[in-house]
Structure 1
């Protein structure tokens, strides 16, 4: 699902700099960022990756926000992110691999 499709469906982009998602979702994204930043720049440059899910009746898209472009920087712990989303009650969780840049 690309950005235009997400916008048409009312999908909220998770962004910790804006109050557009519940704090527990933002906390997971920030945890993911810390893990990715600490891992280092590994893998191919990818755009459009992230988790799509439903939480509290709202659809969200949560991209990785680490400081590295290499996809493995955030992919290596994506299963843990999935589990954290599941633990807070997120539903219909899907990971999008993105596209090579």
Structure 2
């Protein structure tokens, strides 16, 4: 079974700072079919994207930008997002860095 785990498991505010998955995604991983796992991995590595991250300029995925509801977006599983006013959502890597840098 494929996994985006990078072996750097550090959870904070509902997000693994290593792989960028939410704790809910990690908990549901083994119950997901391989198609769903591959889709999530494509979102994590940027091969499936909806926009460019304003923080790093890399591809990012947002379910809302893809026409889905906010409840379908990974970020809705997190408490408060440490984002300033930006034109679009940050990628998981930038969000994980921002969460890790908070006191």
Same fold (TM over 0.5): no
State the TM-score, normalized to the length of structure 1: 0.31
Normalised by the length of structure 2, the TM-score is 0.31
- Identify the structure with bigger relative contact order (alpha carbons < 8 Å, sequence gap 6+): 1
